[in-house]
């Protein structure tokens, strides 16, 4: 069941992303940034703080957060610089739900978000999880050792008492908190608008495939789809999933480059990026490219689904950060 754990213990990146608008694969690849606010990291800053830019690349909310999520219904999750706790801001950068959470999920289209509150009990190492509405009011009180976001009226949660007893149990819950049995092949609670669901072979964990909402294989199990160490190399987002490829850099070091494949396993963006800062949403992704030489200026910014930069900024490339 460790892959269920991987599903609901979200990294700082995907935890913040929540449910995106227009996330599915579109017929036409966008060739300019869609209108809106986008999380942006100031890679020229020592702390690499996050703020928000508009479609022109200009900062609307200055970099001031340790991490920043996407806006859904005018609300975004951010990590406060001073307290290191998470809260939610409006499109003016003002807190509407004060920083108080150990970790959070973004709000879904129904206005529900999973949140983990700090706990002194070591059982809740990822926080004590519950669910809030857009006003910060609990609709399901904190009680779980882990919790995923709602999709289709269901969410996957980890039951605290089962963890305490050494045998973690996962349930589905509905929006009223009612519990239902769950196993790894259950399709309920999965957001198929982002892409197919990952299925791991019970006998060989290196065999990984993906199924659609009807349970049909879109990608049959194969070792080349084995999980990476990051959420974007495990799960689909915006219809694409990342993959990694080792390459020699300037004949003196090996680095990992990143590309993307589609829901059928076809490579659609070659491996030429050294960092994925945000996987695809609203048909764009925030990535960084390596410089031609160590120490030179390189570019980062938002790309479309053909790998073309639509918005870019410069940063000082540091080989040691990406060296294998």
Distance CA 113, CA 105 (A): 6
Structure tokens belonging to residue 134? 């857009």
Question: Residue 103 in contact with residue 149, Cβ under 8 Å?
Answer: no
Region of 238 please: left (phi>0), alpha (psi -120 to 50) or beta.
left
Q: Per residue in 141-165, pLDDT tens? A: 999 999 999 998 999 999 887 776 7
* pLDDT value of residue 62: 96
Tell which residue, 268, 305, 309, 306, has the closest CA to residue 289: 309
- DSSP letters spanning 105-127: ----TTS-EEEEE--SSTT-TT-
* pLDDT value of residue 204: 86
* pLDDT value of residue 99: 97
Could you tell me how far CA 42 lies from the centroid of its own chain? 19
Name residues of the chain where pLDDT drops below 50: 1-15, 18-27
Structure tokens belonging to residue 316? 């000082």
Q: What's 293's DSSP letter? A: S
* pLDDT value of residue 257: 94
SS3 of the chain: helix, strand, coil, percent, to 5 = 10, 45, 50
* pLDDT value of residue 227: 67
* pLDDT value of residue 28: 63
Q: What separation, in Å, do the N-terminal and C-terminal C-alpha atoms of the chain show?
A: 30
Structure tokens belonging to residue 138? 């609990």
Alpha helix locations (H) across the chain?
2-8, 12-17, 160-164, 319-322
Give the C-alpha distances (Å, rounded to integers) separating 285 from 30, 44, 259. 12, 19, 11
Query: Cβ contacts of residue 1 below 8 Å, gap of 6+?
Result: 168, 170, 184
């Amino acid at each position: 069941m460790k892959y269920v754990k991987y599903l609901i213990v979200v990294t700082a990146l995907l935890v913040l992303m929540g449910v995106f608008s227009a996330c599915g694969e579109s017929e036409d690849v966008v060739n300019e940034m869609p209108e809106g606010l986008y999380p942006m990291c100031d890679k020229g800053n020592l702390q690499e703080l996050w703020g928000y830019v508009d479609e022109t690349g200009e900062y609307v909310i200055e970099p001031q957060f340790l991490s920043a999520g996407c806006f859904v219904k005018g609300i975004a999750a951010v990590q406060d610089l001073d307290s290191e706790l998470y809260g939610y801001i409006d499109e003016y950068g003002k807190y509407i739900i004060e920083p108080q959470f150990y970790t959070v999920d973004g709000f879904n289209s129904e206005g529900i978000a999973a949140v983990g509150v700090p706990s002194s009990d070591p059982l809740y190492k990822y926080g004590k999880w519950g669910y809030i509405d857009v006003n910060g009011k609990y609709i399901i009180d904190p009680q779980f050792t882990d919790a995923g976001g709602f999709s289709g009226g269901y969410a996957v949660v980890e039951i605290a008492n089962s963890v305490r007893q050494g045998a973690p149990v996962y349930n589905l819950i509905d929006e009223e908190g009612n519990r239902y049995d769950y196993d790894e092949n259950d399709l309920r609670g999965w957001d198929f608008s982002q892409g197919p669901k990952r299925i791991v072979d019970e006998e060989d964990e290196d065999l990984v495939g993906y199924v659609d909402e009807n349970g049909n294989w879109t990608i049959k199990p194969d070792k080349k789809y084995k999980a990476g160490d990051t959420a974007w190399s495990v799960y689909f987002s915006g219809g694409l999933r990342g993959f990694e490829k080792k390459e020699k850099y300037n004949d003196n070091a090996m680095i990992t480059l990143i590309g993307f494949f589609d829901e059928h396993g076809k490579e659609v963006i070659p491996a030429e990026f050294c960092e994925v800062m945000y996987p695809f949403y609203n048909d764009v992704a925030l990535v960084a490219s390596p410089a031609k030489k160590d120490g030179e200026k390189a570019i980062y910014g938002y790309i479309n689904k053909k790998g073309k930069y639509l918005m870019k900024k410069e940063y000082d490339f540091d080989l040691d950060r990406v060296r294998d």
